[in-house]
Structure 1
Amino acid sequence: MRLKEKAIEMSEIYRQNQKVEAIILAGSVARKLEDEHSDIELHILWSEPPEDEERLGPINNSSGTILSYHPYEDEEWSETYLTKEGIKLEISNFLTLTVEKIISEVIEQYDTNYEKQCIVSSVHDGVSLYGEVKVHALKDRIEVYPEELAKRMISENLWLSNRWHNREALLKRKDWLMLYDVICEVQRDLFGVLFGLNRMYVHHPAFKWMAYNVERMNIKPENLYERMANTLIGEPEYSVQELEVLIEEVLHLVEQYAPELNIAEQQKRIQYAK
């Protein structure tokens, strides 16, 4: 059975509960990126908090095996389980009011928090399985990426990691674990800038599906995916040098496509190395 078909089948069980207002298929299946390792991600939107029996009911109904089950934390109830066919489902239960509030924080208050943006991105790219009127009302609110959010994403992420200053010392000391931790951190910062430049909501805090998202970008350094990948698998000296070049290219893109931003302080700090 294909994952989307199974998601639709499971949504039929959840929608029987009158407290469920909408169901959104999220993740790789919604974005048509699924492979043999993918699972099903469902966002269930409730009119009031779900009881344990309401969360456990669909699992038992499908003869599922619970892998994880979490109480209310960070404004959601979450559980993960395997169906009898061995298909993994990750369920995120939210109050509809919570999703509406998070959308307001990102769209109207320009909150750059990645966890919040991930929820907005799931709504933006998600597929409505139930409650189409509600889901499309949410989608309409986030259709236009706010200019102020773009500016904040660019400015905040251009500060890069403080530890980037230590790159030469880490290279000389052959302190590889810390060096590659810094390299990955700076790569994530650059993606944060590029997501802002391209008016794309952050879909995953670690920027999953890198090739897919680079392909979606109109504003980016040439051969970005290959260069980012080679930075992680090449010689350390090459990795640092290539990342320095990428940083300069991203700075030029910011100057070209967001000239109204004053990034002089960020540029000054980026140049420093010890």
Structure 2
Amino acid sequence: MFDKYKKYRIIGVIVVIVAIAVLFAANIRIRSVRQYRSDANNLVQEQQSISDLLNSTTKDEVDNKESSATRDDGAGDDNNPSDDTDIMSEMFNNSSEQENEKDDTGNSDYDAGAGENVVVSDNVSINDDNSQSGGDSQNSSSTGGEDISKDDNSDSGSDKADKKPAIISCTIEIRCDEATAKKSSIDNPGIRELIPDSGIILGQISYSGYEGISAYDVLSAAANMNGISVDTKWTTQYGGVYVTAIAGLEEMMVGRWSGWMYSVNGKVPMKTASSYNVENGDAIVWYYYAP
């Protein structure tokens, strides 16, 4: 009998526990739905606030642009072409009146005449010695009472500024006598054609130029005037231009140590041609060295 009631009690406890669990779960769900709705309402309100703020900002920008455009239109009205024309016309009239006043003043001063001194261009001064007492006395040394004088030193400064370097003269010739002497022993026919039988590539000619030109400048100019090619390269060893070929005849074509050299007045300068400054009367000879 006691066992039978005991079973009912157990069942009752279980039912109570299940009922409590169901109520607790339902309460949690109800609270979750309410929280969700509250969050949704808050989100809508925030979005509405942001939208209102954006609308007010856009409206302020539009108002500012309209006010700026209004000011620009006002400034444009101030720059009316007709107003500019009126201003220019008034300025022109004022300048014309001032010039007329100056002309009247100049004429009255000229008529009054009291030893007036007029200075014109090129340092020429004109002295008008009219009579101070109404023309009773005149300058007997001139018919019109005018004395014109010029400054002879007015152009001295410009002459010094326009002074140019002195012009010097020299002679130049280009020869390959040593290569001609070995022409018959050269196997390459192309090289033999480059060597003239006379040994003269350019006969002696005179050249004139400004003071300070170099021996290479003379060679380049003379070769260019006579249609002769000149090949060069820059040498760091001597710090200047080195001539490698003239009229197609290159260095080492007639031997390992062959090449172009130059002399001035019969002497070989110990510097590159671009470093040697030519003096008046120098005799320059470019020759092909073929030992």
Given the two structures, how large is their TM-score scaled by the length of structure 2?
0.19
**Whose strand proportion is higher, 1 or 2?**
2
Larger radius of gyration: 2
**Whose helix proportion is higher, 1 or 2?**
1
Given the two structures, how large is their TM-score scaled by the length of structure 1?
0.20
Q: Which structure ranks higher in relative contact order (CA pairs < 8 Å, sequence separation ≥ 6)? A: 1
